[in-house]
Chains A and B, each alone.
Chain A
């Protein structure tokens, strides 16, 4: 089955700086890669996703890049703000709603004021 590795497990950055979280996956058939933000005691919230037919996607301060050859994808958050502090999970699936997501272990992002 799919295996998703995520690092770092904890990331502390100064407010205003950029944060980068990286994930690798093992199953070359995976073609859907979402990123979720989870705040304490709440369910995950989708923040951005990318499909294998594109290499990059951006939404305001958040961007995701995908390298299918190397089987890795990354989340980039620019101009970080205190409210960005949360746990971020990457995930992979073979696409669509038919397959459950395989999650990375999460990155605790801490924004230092």
Chain B
């Protein structure tokens, strides 16, 4: 499978601050990037879908102004959680995808105090 990295792997921030999560697809050109969120002991929930160079499409209930997604290239996407609050604490996972394959990053654990 593809080698996917996420940075940071863990982040703790104060309420009201913004956090940027970076996802790199090291050996795979992702025409589509999915971002998922996973709460403890729960399944993965799709947040948004973005195609390289285009605006992201958000799932119902996900605020586009709060979760800013940039998919600037086929190997890099970022998710910025703006004005984070404790309820945003979660495990965020990027998922680069091509025509027939979908891979997952190792995840970023966000804790908002």
A: which residues have CB within 8 A of B?
Answer: 34, 36, 41-46, 89, 93, 95-98, 100-106
Contacts and interface: CB of A to CB of B under 8 A. Distances in A.
Interface in B92-110: 93, 95, 97-107, 109
Interface stretch (B42-50, B63-71, B78-86): B42-50
A98 B44 CA distance: 18
A46 B93 contact: no
A80 to B, nearest CB: 22
A101 B46 contact: yes
B43 A43 contact: no
Contacts of A96: 97-100
Interface residues of B, number: 27
A105 B107 contact: no
B1 A97 contact: no
Given A34-B102, A44-B93, A44-B104, A105 B42 contact: yes
A97 B100 contact: yes
Q: Which of A95, A98, A105 has the most CB of B within 10 A?
A: A98
A89 B99 contact: no
B43 A103 contact: yes
B90 interface: no
25 contacts: A36-B104, A41-B107, A41-B109, A42-B107, A43-B106, A43-B107, A44-B104, A45-B104, A46-B103, A89-B44, A93-B102, A95-B100, A96-B100, A97-B32, A97-B97, A97-B99, A97-B100, A97-B101, A100-B49, A100-B95, A101-B46, A101-B95, A104-B43, A105-B42, A106-B42
